[in-house]
Copies of this chain bind each other. A is one copy, B any other.
């Protein structure tokens, strides 16, 4: 496994592989890898000839008040895990390498990013789409894998690729959970024991929503109310949003007719967690 820090070096490797007719998989990450990331890499390994994982804590997707500085980092451990799963190249550029002096170009997806997390994190998705656009042209992959815990990120990137006519297959992978149901996230590290117990209410509330749906309830407000009530019982939890929306463009719906997404963001103490589940229809890949 090679560790590459330079953009030009990464582009050179990718160009060689393309010349050989090889299929390239990319798993973009901010590092501090967990089983969720590893599941993306395993899939990338199966579907591509070569697997590249980028590790880059992207400053421009964090708000000023957010946890960019504190975001957990452990490159040594990440390299160990990536090697075990068969990653061929880790691309780990510096901030200076990605955003040199004078940098001023941004990619923006509009409507899809103006709801859910986009409301509380106004420049977040612009930061995500910009860095992913850069990673895509640096790595030039055929396939790119994203976890569906960040469902809004996943559909936003799919939209960007479609709108800008990039020939990249953007693949969304199922949420991976801890044994107790908590969705895997690098930010789970922030949780105290009490907070961690509270955080389980997120997954429990999704189970409730699925149960209500299975009982035949299609009114989105009714389900949202049930979810909010359940999480609201936790003293440490502060709900940011609980929203059922159209799964493709995240548009508002009042009734679940076909494929819908229940997405939620909750602060547990100081830690902001997100989770979601699909209601009705098939899983989207």
Instruction: Give me the interface of A with B, judged by CB distance under 8 Å.
Output: 7, 11, 102-112, 129, 133-134, 137-138, 159-160, 163-167, 249
Contacts and interface: CB of A to CB of B under 8 A. Distances in A.
A260 B163 CA distance: 37
B107 A165 contact: no
* Copy count, this protein chain: 2
A105 B160 contact: yes
B105 A107 contact: yes
Nearest to A129: B105
A271 B159 CA distance: 37
A133 B7 contact: no
Contacts of A249: 102
Contact of A165 (B106, B134, B159, B163): B134
Among A103, A104, A108, A129, the most chain B Cβ lie within 10 Å of the Cβ of A104
A110 B102 contact: no
A104 B11 contact: no
Contacts of A160: 105
Contacts of A165: 7, 11, 134, 137-138
A106 B160 CA distance: 9
Contacts of A104: 109-112, 159, 163
Nearest to A167: B11
Nearest to A7: B165
A104 B126 CA distance: 13
A221 B137 CA distance: 42
A122 to B, nearest CB: 15
A156 to B, nearest CB: 9
A134 B164 contact: yes
Contacts of A11: 165, 167
Contacts of A138: 165
A4 B76 CA distance: 50
A120 to B, nearest CB: 20
A20 B249 CA distance: 39
A94 to B, nearest CB: 14
22 contacts: A7-B165, A11-B165, A102-B159, A102-B249, A105-B107, A105-B108, A105-B109, A105-B129, A105-B159, A105-B160, A105-B163, A105-B164, A106-B107, A106-B108, A106-B110, A107-B108, A107-B164, A134-B164, A137-B164, A137-B166, A137-B167, A138-B165
